[in-house]
Amino acid sequence: MNITIKPLTPELSADYFDFFENRAFTDNSPYRCYCQMYQMTKAQAKAALDNADGADMGGISKKIAEQQIESGILRGYLAFVDGIAVGWCNTNDKANFPVEPCTGESFYAPPEKREKAVVCFEIAPKHRGRGVATALLHQAIFDAKTEGYIAVEGFPVVRDERYEWDCTGPFRLYEKTGFSKVSEKDGRIIMRKEL
């Protein structure tokens, strides 16, 4: 299988939304998202909910993601097979994440730290276990090093079985790509790869 990895740009937004709407959750996952929450503050999330007024939350989430892609706030990589997006990895400069995120999980670090965070993977069910997440992570590492970052961090959660909402990537994915465990709290591990 030939996997091509491309950084998310406004020009690829149609591919991004096609992936999330047609392949990302086809295994009946209970959650639908556009990976926009990690970039939102508590105040932004509250405002979105307040403005929903009974509207379709999926549509609101998509509109927020569209704005984030256009402005460059939402960053990461799409994986393509035969020209079709089959995977996504949300990775960004840690300085671009909010200090007080709406998710409760802070990935923020000051700009001078020069660190990237890998916070989410979503792979089309038919392509899982075929190296897509590994290819995405390798590209994130390569680009971070090329761009002068000093480290990349990931945040897997230790579980005994697959959990539908677990999008952080498995521990073994980080381990096999050269990350080292630096801490663990409440089952969440911080994995770090020095560049």
What is residue 29's predicted lDDT score, i.e. its pLDDT?
59
What pLDDT does residue 186 have?
76
Tokens of 195: 């560049």
What pLDDT does 49 receive? 75
Q: Whole-structure pTM over 0.95, yes or no?
A: no
Which CATH number is 3-194's, of 3.40.50.1820, 3.40.630.30, 3.30.365.10, 3.50.50.60?
A: 3.40.630.30
Model pLDDT for residues 13-58, shown as the tens digit of each residue: 999 999 999 999 777 655 568 999 899 998 988 888 777 665 677 7
- Which tens digits make up the pLDDT trace of 46-96? 888 777 665 677 788 889 999 999 999 999 999 999 999 999 999 999 999
Reference 192, options 147, 156, 166, 139; nearest CA is 156
Structure confidence at residue 53 (pLDDT): 63
Q: Per-residue pLDDT for 168 more than 80?
A: yes
Q: How far apart are CA 28 and CA 30, in angstroms?
A: 6
Q: Tell me the per-residue pLDDT of 101-146, one tens digit each, with 9 for 90 and over.
A: 888 788 999 999 999 999 999 999 999 999 999 999 999 999 999 9
Classify 14 in phi/psi space as left (phi over 0), alpha (psi -120 to 50) or beta: alpha
Put the strands of the sheet holding 180-185 in their side by side order. Answer: 3-7, 76-81, 84-93, 115-123, 151-154, 188-194, 180-185
What confidence score (pLDDT) does residue 158 get? 79
Q: Which residues contact 27 (CB under 8 A, 6 or more apart)?
A: 125
Where do the structural domains in the chain lie, given as residue ranges? 3-194
Local confidence band at 151 (pLDDT 50, 70, 90 cut-offs)? very high
